[in-house]
Structure 1
Amino acid sequence: MSTATTSSAPDPPAQWTALSDEEISLDNVETLLNPISDDLWVSAACVDRILDDATVQKALLDLGAERTSAAAQRARITAARVVSPVSGDGEGEEDQEAGATSEQTRHASLVSYFSDEPVDAQLCRIRAVLLERLDRLNTWVEVCREAPAEDESEETIDAEWEDDPWADESAPPAQPASKPGKAPIPLSDFLTTSLEETACLFASQEYFAALRILLQRHGGVLWPVRFAILDCIPEYALASDYRDLLPACDASLGLELRPQPNPWRDEPDFTESPEYASALKECGVPFALSPGERPPVHLPSTCEPLTGSELSTWYLRRMDRVLSSTGNVDAALALIQHAASQGIPGLDESGEELSLIARLVYDAPQGEESAAEDWSLEKWRSMEPADVIRAYLAHSMEETVASDIQKLVMPYLFVLESRAERAGNPDPSLPTRLLYDYILSAPLGIVAAIFEASKPTLPQGQRVIKDDEDMARLALACLYGNESLDQWPMMSRIFECLPAWDTPEDEDEDEADETDTTIASLGDFVTPSTSRPRATPSDLLLFFKPLPMTSLSKALDVLDVHLESGEILARWSVPAPLRWFLQSNANNAEQRSRANRMARRANAADDKLDTQEDWEWLLEDMLKLAGSGEPGSRSAFCLLSRDNIIRIFFSGLLSTGNFDIAKDLLHSPSLQGSLDHQVIEDICLTCSQEFYDNATSGNYHFGDMKLAYDCLDVPDPSDRIVQEKEFIEATSRLCSFNLMSRPGIPISPIEIRLTKDRLSLVSRVLSSNNDAYKHTEVMLDLVHKLGFRGDIVAEVKTLAMLAETALQMDDFTRAYETSETMVNTVLLLRSSSSLGSEDPSIQEASEVCWLTCFQLGRHPEFPDVQKKLVLLGRALEFCPAEKLPDILSSWRALEEEDVAERREALAARKHGTRRVRARRERVSGVDAAAVASSLASRLHNMQMHIPASPNFANEAFHRVAANIPFSLGGRGRSYLSETSDRSRSGSRTRAADGAHVVSEQASRVLQKGIGWLLGADDE
């Protein structure tokens, strides 16, 4: 019965094989695996299972190690049986050869043994794996103990783990101070993954405690790949967290220190020796991996210790990676500082630079864009010192710039100075030179803050700028090199910080000349040129550098005057940079121009000058800028006298249109008696003409033209004032006639003023307005206001234009009336002139008059023959002697026409027409008698000359008419033009019978009772 039960029980190997890894427990190991007598099978079963339960896994490994110990002992005994044939100290060549022979014999013995006993060979191979896993298990347990404790919510550790089941039984149970932490990697993975890969994993996840244990327990394996492991540590990790993992240097040897490992076993097992592994390989025993075990990862290896320079290179490379990938300057600095503490050479300069970069990144004021800026040693080393200083102070405020310089810039400058000394090129002026360069390029607000932190009253150690003369030179260079127009309070702040030296109050001529020479030279220096468009503050510092203290003191006095002048100019909206005061110091035109702008642009200020008090304030400031006339005066208008300033001021006041204030100021204490009447009149006329020239409309009731007109009310009336006012009124009237400069563009006032012949404007009015000729008085008044008042010739020409325009409009009645007015004007001029006909104006007026009468008298469309005869008679009266034949020719033709008309009228109206004819004959007789009387008196006083061609009358008329500014054709060509054309076409025929025509004219005159005037030549 019992035999049957035993035979039916499951086989232990089968039961063990049927168990899964999760089902294996300590009981299974004791009940199923331990009773099996086959050592090879048991050890193979132990090495085949890789569990996550540390307790069961240790039990398996211990059991496998126990079952393989006998085989390892037999192999070791076999190798130990080989005895060396030579005994000695091993120092001779024979001993060495004997030792080598012994090793070969031992190796051959092992190979033979393993070939004869393959089971022991397999057991030895399994033993080596089991021991290596046992070491790893112990390492894993220690790693878990060093890991951070788990949270309360996580799964608790089994009681067996806390009791440490494989601890020494004789030792009392340990009382853990705290719960073990969570394992960074599962046990199964830890046992099957290569140590190199596990170490890299711990490094990448910053499990530095675990990595430290791994390197300590398995240092022999991990030493060649130590740098590959360190490279896996994230760049952002601080070196202080893993400083004991970083390489160190032995200063005495100049080589890398190799840490002493602390393996779990002091001596390796025989199965782990190289000769054992070599013998197994040679005898052909399979050397395959255990199930689940992964091949090792191939990493760059460095077996030998590095030299000091190689370690320095590695640290620098690591530092660059930290900076480039993270920008964490603190991490890089901590790395270099640790390396320096470990004796790594050649890192002092890099440490200095990193320290300076750290100040820039963490201590310097930062802007919004600074967070996105990455810094590296390469970028830092590529920067010039001036760029570094600007980077330090890029976001400094006025309140902090002085402390930032002391805290950030000065250490950097001292580092540069010390490096120059170490390099054998000492340069004591380097810090001040670089600092001064920054000050010269900084904004004025920053400069003012620096100067306030450098006042001579402060202790020497606290001052940013420690030299007083350098302060003066820097201030002069910064202020005169600045282009600002609105920072006068800031400039005054800088000036108030400057030192004041005790200099003699009495300045002799040599010192005054020296100051003048300095200012003149400085003015030339700041004047732009082709080689230097602008003198920068750095250029100016070079100019001021050689000046001694006395010259600097004088320059500061001049600067004080210039700053005050600049504030005054800025107050009245005509600011100028400080360099302008140097450039204009000897330029009268430039000072006058600025004074004019100040007087005229006062209304451009924020507060308009609406009261007399404001304008008096402006005058006071302008007089202040003119100076007192002292030799040392350097004010803005030092070359302008008081009278010049007052004239400029009054012109500016008038240019603003404040005429009431101007009148009041003329009688105020400020200006009373300063300007005589003639000067005031000149200024007002000039200002009025400026308003006139700038006016876009001629209407003097608004705009600039009104200002031009009202400006003339400021001075007392005079002929010039009245004449200018009349001209403005004439301009307004001309513009009311809608005269055009070009098609569609009205004429502007400036065009009217620039017209040389202003009578042509009247002609344009008559040409463009159909009814203008009807208003004779208006046109004459316009001519008078255009500047021709009292000019009879201009009045006669105007009447001639009116008559011509009326003639072209077929308004013969108005043309005749205008001609009569013109004749009376000429007669009045003749009677009032003391020179008589010799007066050039009388000759010009007479010529215009006879031509106009001649043209109207011979017009074919003028129906009133009697009036035409009167006009021709006036033409005979005023024309030159050589023009009489032409006029007489027209007279004859007109008289024939009159005779024909009377004959027709006589036949048509008989008795009724007789009375009309008798009346006409009486009128004709009277007119003929008047003409005959005038002609007779002229012929008796001169010898009559009859030219060969009668065309000279037309030629004479065109010659005179060319000087009369009016158009001769309103509706096409005039009658005179037609006659002229006919005369030109028949000139040859008329030249041939000219004598006959004159003879016929004389006969007609004789028939009318005036033949005696022509003499006995007529038949």
Structure 2
Amino acid sequence: MAEQWIQLEDDLITTEDVQNLLGQVSDDYWIAAACVDRVVNNTAVQNSLLRLGIARTEKVVDRCKDIIALCSSSQTNDQEEISPGGPLLSHFTNTPADAQLCYLRSVLLRRLDRLNTYVDMEAEFAKGEEGDKVDEVMDEWEDDPWADGNDTAGSSKATPSSKSTEPPPISLAEFLQNDLVWSACELASLSAVQALQILFNKHSEALWPARFRILQCIPDYTYPSICRDIFPALDSTTNMEAQESSEPWRQQLDFVELTETQDALKQLEGSLPSITDSAKMVRYEPCRELLPPEELSTWYKNRVSSVVSLTGMIDVALALVQHGAAQGIPSLDELGEELSLLSRLVYDASQGSDIQDDWTLVRWSSMDPMAVVKAYLAHSPPTSLPRDISRLVMPYLYVLEARAERAGQPDPSLPTRLLHDYILDTSLDNAAAIFEASKPTLPAAQRIIKNDEDMARLALACLYGSTSLDEWATMSSIFECLPAWEISKDADLDEDTADTTVASLGAFVTPSTNQPQVTAKDLIVFFKPLPFASLSQALDILDVHLESGEILARWGVPAPLRWFLQSSEDIQEQRKWANRMARKAGGKDRMDGIEDWEWLLKDMLKLTGGGDLSARGALCLLSSEEVTTTFLSGLLTSGNFAIAKKMLSGTHSKISLSLEQIESVALTCSRELYDNSSSGNYKFGDMKLAYECLDVPQSTPALTKEKEFIEATSRISSFNVFSSPGTPISPIEIRLTKDRLSLVSQVLSSNSDAYKHTEVILELCYKLGYREDSVAEVKVLAMLADAALQAEDFTRAYENSERMVQTVASLRNSSPLELDDEKAREASEVCWIACFQLGRQSEFDDLSKRATLLGHAVELCPPEKIHDVLTAWRKLEKEDIEAREEKLRQRQNGQQLGPVAARKIESGPSNVASSLRARLQDFHMPSPPLLSTPDAAALASRTFKSVTSNFPFSVHRPRSEMDERISTRSDGSRRTDLDEVSSQASRVLSKGIGWLIGADEQ
């Protein structure tokens, strides 16, 4: 039988095998050892093994008891005190087999107790998975075949483990061999609280010192109600930790479990059988004493902190505190209060789409009250904000008030103050929702803000402290929630007081170096001391400002509400905003109908308040006339000229301005468009608008003159005039040119054929603003003559010179003081120099015209310049003599005279000699002999230098050969190489008037 038993596998053993094979062996020691050696996971088989082993050790217990009894009898006879352990130790020493059997019995009893515990735990797990089978399990216990076993071993609870659909997390074999504290910790870590409770109840003596180590293993997320029977509690009768009642499987210890027996066995430990139980152990600090209330409170607080920090499950932490308080644990009220408030934040407050906040007690404790209020309402939409304030924020604020009172520092205004601070710092949408829930028409208990004056002050501070530009509807909704007060006449403030209040408030909100931006919290300080009547007037002003703000926003020029305070006494700021309003609205795409422009004008006039400063509109400092002027300016700069004409014309004109004002606006707008134009062509772009703008009012000389200037600008641009190499001249450069005749000079210098179009150039001069200026006309003719001369077009040069002489003659004749008249002198100066320059050109072969020109020069030049002109005359006369001598020689030789020589002789200076002599006689200046000397040319050059130094205009032409021989003195005057003048005079002088009037030196 023994061999068959040994060959059986553990998993194949049945209760029948235990009885039929092992039970038939006669050796009690061998059977006991075999029962200890075999550890299986089947509760019934294991129960059978343990029962059999315990039954086979009954005899050794009887023998030991007999020996002790015998020793006790001898002691009585001998009257000597003999320790019970003495005879037993002696017996164990003499009979080692009995010692070993006693030891094996103690192991079997311990395992039987654990087996019964395991069966109870297994049943508990079965309840958890299939509660409807509990009754079946209990019935199976009633049919337990080992129920009638030895009473010393206690009643059996073993039931087949196959009945449990969910076995315990620890197998039976492990549970029998493991350290009991390790098993308890393992069950605790798996939240097997009911099984753990059974373990505590049946093995309290072994587990009590390690109770806090075991409880530490329970996961933080485990709900306290599950652990209510194993968490620490306070015994109100002793005011110490309550100790759970213990129900061990056996009320009395077995003989082998007595202290004397265990002491005797320990002394023989080396000779006892070796039992291979599990080596799994748990280290802990044993705590056998009952803890005082303070330490129990500390344990609960530490666990709460761990729950919150590690899991974030505020509800579990709160339930833990509530459980502790229910168990009588002190000092948990404030912690429970904090957790209750925190749980509202985590579970009751609205959350964002992605919840990332990790709330801990440390974080909660570090937050100031306002931060907590904002956290409560961080994700609350305006629709639910009032409700969230009532159910979340107000309870929190009342708790703070109660704490302050408990601390001996009562602060009844604390809830109101913090609520107001939140309103001042929140968005306008949120503030509107709060004001909506605080209307005076609501019952006082339902209102968020209960005081009407507080509402007014908060609204004023929120609105004037806001920088929003697009929430006018929200602002108006806030205003509509405010109380409407009936102010008696006696309580009314006078207008000066109201103005002072507005001025003070405007100064308060104006940015400064010390306070760059005023906030709503800053403004509430200003509004708090205002009395009831002042608040009412402030609300009236707010109403006007809100309406003005909506108007400005409608036309695309919104201003923050505080701007109306800042600009209330600043006319320049109001004027700037009116201009922006007219210009910005004109830039809108929808401003294409006269109705829109009429609407804009109506709104702008409305903002003036009709001239009533007490109206305090956005443009209250501006007159209706100025606003209308600004409106017309915006209308014209927008290019809507057809609409402007309609609004200006007719008996029912929408624009009430004088003709002079309309003309001034049109000129200003046209010049603005002109200056902003990138092209001078008045057929397109801004220049076209500038030109057409002048057609809107009735025509006036000033408008006609401006139109001509635009036409002149367009003509100059068409000639491709450059302000610098590669850069065409811009319209603004043309307008800023001080001497506009220089523009004509640039046209002539940049276009080689421009001089041929005399009338075009003269018309350009007229349109540049010189239409009635004869001096300017003479200068332009001189430029044309010079340009023709440099092109060697002597015919056009002569024609322009003759026209110039006629113009000067007319000017001289019309001047009552003749030579004393400044314009006449200036024109004469230009004219005689131009005539002299052309008349002295040797390449001009028409001697008669040259003589005529020199005659004009003599007639117009000042007396001190006569000698210079006569020098040229002498040279012309010499040319005439040489031509005649050549003719005489040819006649003598029978040759025909060439056409050039004939023309020179026929057009010689003889026909103007008489006029020349008459001119000289008028000045009483006989012809000096110097004129016939070879140095006459040098003298003329020196004279020309003094003449041209004061020439009033210049044509920018390339430098002539004479220019290249001009050097500059230290004083800036010019000098000529006199040694070369005589031999090159004809060639140099032929380069024309360009040198005389200052050729381009670049």
1:972 paired with 2:960, answer yes
Distance 1:507 1:899, change over 3 A: farther
Partner of 2:581: 598
Distance 1:34 1:919, change over 3 A: closer
1:769 paired with 2:751, answer yes
The answer to whether the 8 A contact 1:68-1:127 is kept is yes
The answer to whether the 8 A contact 1:574-1:601 is kept is yes
Q: Distance in 1 between matches of 2:734 and 2:890?
A: 58
Match of 1:142 among 98, 103, 120: 120
Q: Distance in 2 between matches of 1:194 and 1:175?
A: 23
Partner of 1:958: 948
The answer to whether the 8 A contact 1:163-1:174 is kept is no
The alpha carbon displacement at 1:31 in A equals 3.2
Distance 1:379 1:172, change over 3 A: closer
The alpha carbon displacement at 1:759 in A equals 0.7
Partner of 2:991: none
Partner of 1:935: 920
SS at 2:868 equivalent: helix
Partner of 1:484: 468
Partner of 1:31: 20
Distance 1:138 1:918, change over 3 A: closer
SS at 1:535 equivalent: coil
The alpha carbon displacement at 1:245 in A equals 1.7
The answer to whether the 8 A contact 1:329-1:358 is kept is yes
The alpha carbon displacement at 1:808 in A equals 1.9
Q: Distance in 1 between matches of 2:586 and 2:366?
A: 54
Match of 2:143 among 154, 163, 171: 163
Amino acid in structure 2 at the alignment position of 1:396:
S
Partner of 2:567: 584
Match of 2:392 among 399, 408, 413: 408
Q: Distance in 1 between matches of 2:204 and 2:642?
A: 105
**1:350-429 correspondence to structure 2 within 5 Å:** 350-370=335-355, 372-429=356-413
SS at 2:126 equivalent: coil
Partner of 2:873: 891
The alpha carbon displacement at 1:112 in A equals 2.9
The alpha carbon displacement at 1:673 in A equals 8.1
1:716 paired with 2:698, answer yes
Partner of 1:784: 766
Match of 2:111 among 114, 124, 133: 133
SS at 2:723 equivalent: strand
Q: Distance in 2 between matches of 1:924 and 1:941?
A: 18
Q: TM-score, normalised by structure 2?
A: 0.90
**1:672-683 correspondence to structure 2 within 5 Å:** 674-683=656-665
Distance 1:202 1:662, change over 3 A: same
Distance 1:212 1:157, change over 3 A: closer
1:563 paired with 2:560, answer no
The alpha carbon displacement at 1:266 in A equals 0.5
Q: Runs of at least 4 residues of structure 1 off by over 6 A?
A: 80-87, 156-162, 169-176, 940-948, 975-983, 988-991
1:14 paired with 2:3, answer yes
Distance 1:120 1:288, change over 3 A: closer
Partner of 1:98: none
Deviation string 1:52-74 (CA, Å, 9 cap, x unpaired) is 22222212211221222332344
The alpha carbon displacement at 1:970 in A equals 2.7
SS at 2:229 equivalent: helix
Deviation string 1:823-873 (CA, Å, 9 cap, x unpaired) is 222122222222211111111111111112222223344344443333222
Q: Greater CA deviation, 976-985 or 219-228?
A: 976-985
Q: Matched residue pairs, number?
A: 959
The answer to whether the 8 A contact 2:439-2:447 is kept is yes
Partner of 2:787: 805
SS at 1:741 equivalent: strand
Q: Greater CA deviation, 426-435 or 143-152?
A: 143-152
Q: Greater CA deviation, 437-446 or 608-617?
A: 608-617
Partner of 1:855: 837
The alpha carbon displacement at 1:206 in A equals 2.1
The alpha carbon displacement at 1:782 in A equals 0.2
Q: Distance in 2 between matches of 1:255 and 1:546?
A: 59
1:256 paired with 2:241, answer yes
1:67 paired with 2:39, answer no
Partner of 2:496: 513
The answer to whether the 8 A contact 1:71-1:123 is kept is yes
Distance 1:140 1:117, change over 3 A: same
The answer to whether the 8 A contact 1:218-1:261 is kept is yes
Q: Distance in 2 between matches of 1:25 and 1:978?
A: 139
Q: Distance in 1 between matches of 2:280 and 2:457?
A: 77
The alpha carbon displacement at 1:677 in A equals 1.4
**1:598-997 correspondence to structure 2 within 5 Å:** 598-605=581-588, 608-630=590-612, 632-667=614-649, 671=653, 674-908=656-890, 910=892, 912-913=896-897, 920=905, 923-939=908-924, 951-961=941-951, 963-967=952-956, 969-970=957-958, 972-973=960-961, 984=975
The answer to whether the 8 A contact 2:819-2:825 is kept is yes
Amino acid in structure 2 at the alignment position of 1:513:
D
1:535 paired with 2:524, answer no
Q: Distance in 2 between matches of 1:310 and 1:392?
A: 34
Partner of 2:995: none
**1:448-487 correspondence to structure 2 within 5 Å:** 448-487=432-471
Q: TM-score, normalised by structure 1?
A: 0.88
The answer to whether the 8 A contact 2:297-2:329 is kept is yes
The answer to whether the 8 A contact 2:144-2:159 is kept is no
Q: Distance in 2 between matches of 1:49 and 1:976?
A: 133
Q: Greater CA deviation, 228-237 or 257-266?
A: 228-237
The alpha carbon displacement at 1:965 in A equals 3.3
Distance 1:520 1:980, change over 3 A: closer
Unaligned residue ranges in structure 1 (runs of 5+): 1-11, 88-100, 992-996, 998-1019
The alpha carbon displacement at 1:798 in A equals 0.8
Partner of 1:206: 191
Deviation string 1:332-368 (CA, Å, 9 cap, x unpaired) is 2111111111111121122112111211121111111
1:334 paired with 2:319, answer yes
Q: Distance in 2 between matches of 1:132 and 1:174?
A: 15
Q: Greater CA deviation, 283-292 or 784-793?
A: 283-292
Distance 1:396 1:754, change over 3 A: same
The answer to whether the 8 A contact 1:806-1:814 is kept is yes
Amino acid in structure 2 at the alignment position of 1:677:
L
Partner of 2:41: 52
Unaligned residue ranges in structure 2 (runs of 5+): 986-1002
1:119 paired with 2:119, answer no
Partner of 2:990: none
Q: Greater CA deviation, 252-261 or 294-303?
A: 294-303
Q: Greater CA deviation, 339-348 or 248-257?
A: 248-257
1:306 paired with 2:291, answer yes
The alpha carbon displacement at 1:464 in A equals 0.3
The alpha carbon displacement at 1:147 in A equals 1.8
The alpha carbon displacement at 1:458 in A equals 0.5
The answer to whether the 8 A contact 1:33-1:42 is kept is yes
Distance 1:990 1:637, change over 3 A: closer
Distance 1:568 1:786, change over 3 A: same
SS at 2:760 equivalent: helix
Percent identity for Structure 1 against Structure 2: 52
Q: Greater CA deviation, 499-508 or 571-580?
A: 499-508
The answer to whether the 8 A contact 1:881-1:944 is kept is no
The alpha carbon displacement at 1:329 in A equals 1.6
Q: Distance in 2 between matches of 1:353 and 1:656?
A: 65
Q: Distance in 2 between matches of 1:859 and 1:651?
A: 57
Distance 1:899 1:983, change over 3 A: farther
